[in-house]
Amino acid sequence: MSGIQKLGVALFCIALVIFTGLLGWNDFKLTEESLYTTSDTHKKALIAEAKSAGVLDKNYNNNISFIKDVKQVIKAAQTNLQNQYNENPPSDVSEWEYKIGDWEVKNILTPTIKSSGHGWVSKNPLTAFLLTFGLAILGGFLFIIPKFFKSPGIKNDGIYHSSLTRGLKFGQRLFLLVFTIIGTLIYGFKYMGGNYFWPLVTAIVIGIILFLVFNYQKEKNLQPARSASSEFTGWLGIFAGIYMIVFYVILYWNSEYLTNWITMVDPISLSLSGNEASQWFLYGLLYTIIVFVMGIRMISKYRHNKYQIVRTCSVIFFQTAFAFILPEILVRLNYPYFDFKNIWPLNYTFFFDWNINSLIESGGLGIFMLVWGIILIILGVPIITYFFGKRWYCSWVCGCGGLAETMGDPFRQLSDKSVRAWKFERWIIHGVLAFAIIMTAMVLYHFFTGNSRVLFFDSNNIRTWYGFIIGAGFSGIVGTGFYPLMGNRTWCRFGCPLAAYLGLVQKYKSRFRITTNGGQCISCGNCSTYCEMGIDVRHYAQRGQDIVRSSCVGCGVCSAVCPRGVLRLENASGDISDRAEELRTIHITEDQIGIL
């Protein structure tokens, strides 16, 4: 590492410390203005409650006690309104307008906390932004730019020596995984308001999958599979993983603690959409910046490989333009927030009533968005995947894929290549696809019939649970938080229902495959190691077999890292089934052998 690079790392660390420290560093005061709600009834009740509790106009210098008090105020107001409604129901407003629903608490809490802030961050959002985001970006570039001056070529030196990227011992990895799953289920029980049905169903499904893999597919009695674990644990990796996991838990479920960060990005949000920032804006901005900066790093690393350069530019472009800026502009123009490249079932809210209604209500463009989304699902996916394989989406367009290919690149080697992992993968990802389809079918049934119940399932419950366990838990916490623990495509490989759909098309009806170069493979294993989808590429390459796998996202890294030029991504229909068959293994002249 050169001096400039060390400076970059130092600046980045400083920025990270400030960023984290900023969370608690602001003054808060709840005032009549800062109390945010769209309902007058609620506002009155809340103010009355705040006054009697002595919280109104009181100064707080940290957010923990402030949030605690405000939460109590809201809770008390909620109970009050409830009691009042029960005692003498008003005639002019309906019950759900009068009461504060549980789901509304969050919508009151985070904006209220945010606008109650009046300390240094609230007064100097731009300075705070520069000290955190700005400094981190600067540090990042100081670290990355010198890489452009080294000679181009594969630079994987020291990946397995680095504490950040070498992975974890098996026990620790297992512990973190089990802990996260159980923790999420318990939290989910609370999240569902004490309704244990769906957490229980999920636990049973997990049990069934374990049974299917270990007993039915006979993984238990065999010797251990190839381990994806490291001999020495990378503690920096654990730290990074836990930091991200905690970040997601707060972002999804406790965003009131993030208000300082949100305040910091207000000026940017205002200039884009004209609205104040929300936690989702913060997340989108952070995401886009990371994809951009780490995208430049990706280009520096693979700059000898044009495919990687073009592809990385593509993910940066789609994230910045389609996922981040365009939706904000749509909002500014009073159109619904819409990401044109986010396809159901990855975009699981697409068929939710509020989304359909808001699209229909916003006229021509809204209808176009609705039709566009449906066309992508039923025509776009199969047709484009037929010609180019699932890579057109997964490693060129998708936002999750974009993050995995940029920020996730240093962790791609941590994917598990064992056959056992592959078995898990197939059960889980197709399970999630089935779950997404059932959930959406019920939501649509509800939408068209007005009846929320099918048998004894409730469509609102199932969709809340889907959003919790798949939308937030799997794709966020495990999907990104587990980069340093289980590789950068954990979500894409095991969880994404759209990837499952694209994968089925790729496997059964696509021209895409990876061809291998005759007998040139030396079985070195670079391709398998750096395949983020955990495909044992070498298994095929050393037999001269073409690779047709539903999970391959066509990132092209196997081909880039192969030291012998063995792999090439291709789109062509000829011979695809023959060449993917096992018998292309013969390297000695065939006509010499009589039988086979």
Partner 1 sequence: MNIIIIGNGISGITAARWIRKLSDHKITVISSESDYFYSRTALMYIYMGHMREVDTQPYEPNFWSKNRIELVKKHIKEIRSESKSLVASDGTEITYDRLILALGSKSNKFGWPGQDLKAVGGLYHLQDLERMEQYSSGLNRAVIAGGGLIGIEMAEMFRSRNIPVTMLVREKSYWDNALPSEESQMISRHIKKHHIDLRLEKNLGEIIDDGTGTAHAVTVKETGEKIDCGFVGLTAGVSPNIGWLKDTEIETNRGILVNEYLQTNIKDVYAIGDCAEMKNPSPGRRPVEAIWYTGRMMGETVAHNICGSKTKYDPGIWFNSAKFLDIEYQVYGTVLSKPLAEHKSLYWEHEDGEKSIRIVYDENTNEVIGFNLMGIRFRHEVCEKWIAEKTQLEQVLQDLSLANFDPEFYEQYEGSLVKIYNSNTGKNLSLKKKRKLDQVLKFLRS
Binding stretches for partner 1 (CB under 8 A): 151-154, 156-162, 222-227, 230-231, 304-307, 310, 413, 418-419, 515, 517-520, 522-526, 528-529, 538-539, 542, 556, 559-560, 563-565, 568-575, 586-589, 592-595
Q: Residue 68 binds which one of ligand SF4, partner 1, none, with CB within 5 to 8 A depending on kind?
A: none
C-alpha–C-alpha distance, residues 49 and 74, integer Å: 8
Q: Residue 364 binds which one of partner 1, ligand SF4, none, with CB within 5 to 8 A depending on kind?
A: none
Q: Residue 537 binds which one of partner 1, ligand SF4, none, with CB within 5 to 8 A depending on kind?
A: ligand SF4
Q: Is there binding between residue 389 and ligand SF4 (CB under 6 A)?
A: no
Q: Residue 533 binds which one of partner 1, ligand SF4, none, with CB within 5 to 8 A depending on kind?
A: ligand SF4
Amino acid 176 reads L
Show the site string, 475-514: x = touches ligand SF4 by CB under 6 A, - = not.
----------------------------------------
Smaller CB separation from ligand SF4, 176 or 555 = 555
Where does residue 432 rank: exposed (0-12), middle (13-18), buried (19+ CB within 10 A)? buried
CB of 403 to partner 1, least distance (A): 23
Pick from 131, 234, 119, 130: which is nearest to 173 by CA?
234
Phi, psi of 168 (to 5 degrees): -120, 160
Q: Residue 349 binds which one of ligand SF4, partner 1, none, with CB within 5 to 8 A depending on kind?
A: none
For residue 382, cis peptide bond before it (omega within 30 degrees of 0): no
CB of 389 to ligand SF4, least distance (A): 9
Pick from 411, 125, 86: which is nearest to 282 by CA?
125
- Find the binder of ligand SF4 among 524, 539, 568, 571 (CB under 6 A): 524
Structure tokens at 438: 């059932």
The radius of gyration of the chain from alpha carbons, rounded to an integer in Å, stands at: 26
Site size toward ligand SF4, by CB under 6 A: 26
CB of 571 to ligand SF4, least distance (A): 13
C-alpha–C-alpha distance, residues 155 and 489, integer Å: 21
- Find the binder of ligand SF4 among 258, 492, 541, 548 (CB under 6 A): 541
Which run of H or E residues covers position 528? helix 526-530
Q: Which listed range, 204-212, 287-295, 354-362, 526-534, lies at the site for ligand SF4 (CB under 6 A)?
A: 526-534
C-alpha–C-alpha distance, residues 555 and 396, integer Å: 8
C-alpha–C-alpha distance, residues 255 and 432, integer Å: 26
Q: Which listed range, 76-84, 133-141, 428-436, 522-530, lies at the site for ligand SF4 (CB under 6 A)?
A: 522-530
Q: Is there binding between residue 46 and ligand SF4 (CB under 6 A)?
A: no
From residue 226, alpha-carbon distances to 78, 202, 380, 565 in Å are 55, 28, 38, 25
Q: Which listed range, 60-68, 272-280, 303-311, 563-571, lies at the site for ligand SF4 (CB under 6 A)?
A: 563-571
- Find the binder of ligand SF4 among 35, 136, 533, 548 (CB under 6 A): 533
Smaller CB separation from partner 1, 30 or 569 = 569
Helix axes 170-191, 235-253, angle to 10 degrees: 10
C-alpha–C-alpha distance, residues 113 and 123, integer Å: 15
- Other Cβ atoms less than 10 A from the Cβ of 191: the count is 21
Structure tokens at 417: 């290549």
C-alpha–C-alpha distance, residues 140 and 5, integer Å: 9
Q: Is there binding between residue 406 and ligand SF4 (CB under 6 A)?
A: no
Q: Residue 50 binds which one of partner 1, ligand SF4, none, with CB within 5 to 8 A depending on kind?
A: none
Q: Is there binding between residue 436 and ligand SF4 (CB under 6 A)?
A: no
Contact between 520 and 544 under an 8 Å Cβ cutoff? The reply is no
CB of 506 to ligand SF4, least distance (A): 10
Amino acid 60 reads Y
Q: Is there binding between residue 537 and ligand SF4 (CB under 6 A)?
A: yes
Q: Is there binding between residue 147 and ligand SF4 (CB under 6 A)?
A: no
Q: Is there binding between residue 535 and ligand SF4 (CB under 6 A)?
A: yes
CB of 431 to ligand SF4, least distance (A): 21
Can you tell me whether residue 414 is helix, strand or coil?
Answer: helix
Contact between 213 and 420 under an 8 Å Cβ cutoff? The reply is yes
Beta bridge partners of 30: 56
- Find the binder of ligand SF4 among 25, 79, 525, 584 (CB under 6 A): 525
C-alpha–C-alpha distance, residues 592 and 130, integer Å: 72
CB of 537 to ligand SF4, least distance (A): 5
CB hemisphere CA count around 24 (13 angstroms):
6
- DSSP states of 432-450: HHHHHHHHHHHHHHHHHH-
Q: Residue 418 binds which one of partner 1, ligand SF4, none, with CB within 5 to 8 A depending on kind?
A: partner 1
**Binding stretches for ligand SF4 (CB under 6 A):** 521-527, 531-533, 535, 537-538, 541-542, 552-558, 562, 564, 566-567
